[in-house]
């Protein structure tokens, strides 16, 4: 085996040794219970071999005393396989690396002899799924958790609300889903998560070492709120910025009280200075905090195009204070950096370009000046909803599109915003907006393979990142993805196996 093993994201250290370990039926996987069961299951799925778990194992998974969180060490020799990690997440990631190493050689399933030591670069490694523009149900979300966690992502950000629908049932404001969740973009069926569905997603994510970050997007992107609670909805905004956005995305302006099924953004707002809005925010974020074990609640704050700057600043200060008081860390899109009085713990999510335009970098820096950190989601690199070709059925092009796998790969987190280095970066997140994305097959076709490029930006050390190497390794994942039912796009420029 001289070929470089197809491990994505690239590990911190990989050394290829001599020989191979032969995977045959009868091979026993043992050690720590959860990891060995997962390992046997995934290897069986990959190869079709019946592997057993038990004592006298040739593949052994062990928890050890010391090491960085989420790290692992994997040693494959012709005699056996040892996986060690200081925590369950590390074992989980080691198992997924092992599964990526499986290869077919002279008619046998083998693992190449390797020694790997690995640990993540960033602590926040996110994917975002928009369940508002098109609703995506629990099974689809579970599938996305399977896929993302296998690439060592540890955060699932759910964009739960937008103009087109409110997708989480709340007992404090039942009309949010009673009236606000009936449709999706293009008048497709709507839908929402019950509290039980949400708990199911949170638990499934946790079992895959992912934290759910739920987002209620306010004050803009709230047309659907007005369907059930018109008393806190401002009339659709009229401004040049709104006109431009409506012209760019399409679907026209909304009619108050009627579900919005277009693609435009920026026209809606909650009423800013109102006791009823305040009570609404306290109730909905309070209920969300109680349902959410993770440390973060996302408050949105993007594209409030019709909201005067002073109103926007006052609103973002208010909503971040409410979330902080609930004992959670607020996250807001970078526009909220323009609000001087946001809760100082607020994490900013930068969605500008790799080369920042206008005042996006300045707004992003404000979060760090307050003592917090940034999540980087440069839209022209890791927005998974960007088209690869103008003629593609799915996706948008506004972020310097069409894009490419190479563009998604070739960027370095510390080189985007001047003055924002490693310590100011909490992590990297790849959002998937779903204006054009209707079902699980669409999600696979858009997210794969570019999600793998984002995974490497989030996990791998800069010295391990190299486009030519990635291009080869990602090709090697094709058979694993096919085997696990991932309907990825065979993008040009990669020699898919």
Residue 327 neighbours by CB distance under 10 Å = 9
Nearer to ligand TNX, 284 or 394 (CB): 394
Q: Which residues are catalytic, by number?
A: 303
- When the beta carbons of 32 and 385 are compared against ligand TNX, the nearer one is 385
Distance, C-alpha 230 to centroid of its chain: 32
Whole-angstrom distance, CA of residue 220 vs CA of residue 202: 26
From candidates 109, 333, 350, 488, binder to ligand TNX by CB under 6 A = 333
Q: How far is the CB of 23 from ligand TNX (least distance, A)?
A: 42
Within residues 411-470, the interface with ligand TNX by CB under 6 A covers 433, 435
Residues 6 or more apart whose Cβ sits within 8 Å of residue 122: 413, 425, 426, 427, 428, 458, 459
Q: Distance (Å, rounded) from C-alpha 413 to C-alpha 432?
A: 19
Q: Which residues contact 322 (CB under 8 A, 6 or more apart)?
A: 281, 282, 285, 286
Give least dist CB 302 to ligand TNX, A: 3
Q: Provide, rounded to whole angstroms, the least separation between the CB of residue 265 and ligand TNX.
A: 5
Decide whether 118 or 302 has the Cβ nearer to ligand TNX. Answer: 302
Return all residues near 355 (Cβ < 8 A) that are at least 6 apart.
none
What spatial distance separates the first Cα and last Cα of the chain, rounded to whole Å?
Answer: 16
275-291 and 309-325 helices cross at what angle (nearest 10)?
A: 40
Asked if 474 interacts with ligand TNX (CB under 6 A), we say no
Nearest approach in angstroms of CB 464 to ligand TNX is 29
Closer Cβ to ligand TNX, 74 or 263, answer by number: 263
Using CB under 6 A, which of 74, 288, 342, 396 touches ligand TNX? 396
CA angle 38, 39, 43 (to 5 degrees): 115
**Contacts with ligand TNX, 119-158, as mask; x by CB under 6 A:** ----------------------------------------
> Out of 169, 303, 442, 456, which residue is the one contacting ligand TNX (CB under 6 A)?
303
Cβ proximity to ligand TNX, 92 vs 267, nearer residue: 267
Applying CB under 6 A, which of residues 70, 302, 429, 442 lies at the interface with ligand TNX?
302
Place of tokens 């994510």: 205
Q: Closest approach of Cβ 93 to ligand TNX, in Å?
A: 29
Please give the helix or strand (H or E) that residue 463 lies within, else none.
none
C-alpha distance from residue 45 to each of 34, 39, 48, 92, 244 (Å): 16, 10, 6, 16, 50
Question: Distance between CA 308 and CA 474 in Å, rounded?
Answer: 46
> 280 vs 433, which CB is nearer to ligand TNX?
433
Shortest Å distance, C-beta 176 to ligand TNX: 19
CA distance 112 to 103: 8
CA atoms within 13 A on the CB side of 374: 32
* Contact with ligand TNX (CB under 6 A) among 216, 383, 411, 470: 383
Pair of tokens at residue 287: 């209920």
Interaction residues for ligand TNX, span 343-382 (CB under 6 A): 351
Q: How far is the CB of 60 from ligand TNX (least distance, A)?
A: 45
Residue nearer to ligand TNX on the CB measure, 84 or 303: 303
Q: Which is closer to ligand TNX, CB of 7 or CB of 185?
A: 185
Question: In the complex, what is the shortest distance from the CB of residue 375 to ligand TNX, in angstroms, rounded to a whole number?
Answer: 12
Asked if residue 219 has a cis previous peptide bond (ω within 30° of 0), the answer is: yes
Q: Are strands 72-76 and 81-85 parallel, antiparallel or unpaired?
A: antiparallel
* 236-265 binders of ligand TNX (CB under 6 A): 265
Distance in angstroms (rounded) separating the CA atoms of residues 32 and 86: 12
Number of residues located near ligand TNX, criterion CB under 6 A: 10
Of 447, 467, 495, 475, nearest in space to 406 by CA: 467
Binding site for ligand TNX (CB under 6 A): 265, 302-303, 333, 351, 383, 385, 396, 433, 435
């Amino acid at each position: 085996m001289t070929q470089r093993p197809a491990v994505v994201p690239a590990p911190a250290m990989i050394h290829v040794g001599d020989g191979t370990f032969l995977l045959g039926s009868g091979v026993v996987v043992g050690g720590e219970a959860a990891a060995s069961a997962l390992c046997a299951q995934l290897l069986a799925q990959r190869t079709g071999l019946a592997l057993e778990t038990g004592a006298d194992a040739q593949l052994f998974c062990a928890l050890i005393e010391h090491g960085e969180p989420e790290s692992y060490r994997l040693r494959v020799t012709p005699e056996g396989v040892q996986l060690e990690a200081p925590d369950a997440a590390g074992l989980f990631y080691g198992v997924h690396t092992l599964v990526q190493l499986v290869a077919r050689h002279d008619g046998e399933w083998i693992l190449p002899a390797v020694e790997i030591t690995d640990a993540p670069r960033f602590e926040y490694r996110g994917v975002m799924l928009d369940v508002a523009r098109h609703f995506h149900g629990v099974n689809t979300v579970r599938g996305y958790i399977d896929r993302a966690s296998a690439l060592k992502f540890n955060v699932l950000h759910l964009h739960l609300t937008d103009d087109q629908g409110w997708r989480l049932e709340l007992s404090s404001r039942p009309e949010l889903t009673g009236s606000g969740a009936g449709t999706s973009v293009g008048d497709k069926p709507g839908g929402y998560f019950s509290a039980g569905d949400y708990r199911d997603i949170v638990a499934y994510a946790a079992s895959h070492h992912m934290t759910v970050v739920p987002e209620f997007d306010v004050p803009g992107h709230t047309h659907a709120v007005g369907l059930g609670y018109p008393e806190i909805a401002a009339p659709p905004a009229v401004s040049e910025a709104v006109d431009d956005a409506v012209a760019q995305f399409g679907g026209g302006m909304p009619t108050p009280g009627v579900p919005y099924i277009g693609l435009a953004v920026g026209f809606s707002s909650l009423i800013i200075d109102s006791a009823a809005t305040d009570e609404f925010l306290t109730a909905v974020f309070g209920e969300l905090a109680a349902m959410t074990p993770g440390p973060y609640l996302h408050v949105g704050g993007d594209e409030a195009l019709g909201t005067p700057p002073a109103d926007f600043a006052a609103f973002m200060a208010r909503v971040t204070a409410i979330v902080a008081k609930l004992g959670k860390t607020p996250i807001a899109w970078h526009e909220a950096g323009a609000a001087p009085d946001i809760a100082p713990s607020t994490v900013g999510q930068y969605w500008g370009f790799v080369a920042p335009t206008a005042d996006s970098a300045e707004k992003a820096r404000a979060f760090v000046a307050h003592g917090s950190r940034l999540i980087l989601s440069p839209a022209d690199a890791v927005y998974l909803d960007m088209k690869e070709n103008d003629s593609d059925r799915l996706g948008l092009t506004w972020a310097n599109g069409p894009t490419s796998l190479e563009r998604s790969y070739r960027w370095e987190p510390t080189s985007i915003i001047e003055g924002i280095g490693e310590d100011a970066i909490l992590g990297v997140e790849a959002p998937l907006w779903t204006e054009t994305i209707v079902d699980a097959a669409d999600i696979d076709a858009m997210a794969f393979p570019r999600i793998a490029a984002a995974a490497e930006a989030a996990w791998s050390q800069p010295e391990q990142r190299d486009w030519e190497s990635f291009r080869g390794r990602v090709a090697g994942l094709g058979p694993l993805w096919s085997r696990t039912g991932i309907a990825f796009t065979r993008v040009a420029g990669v020699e898919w196996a």
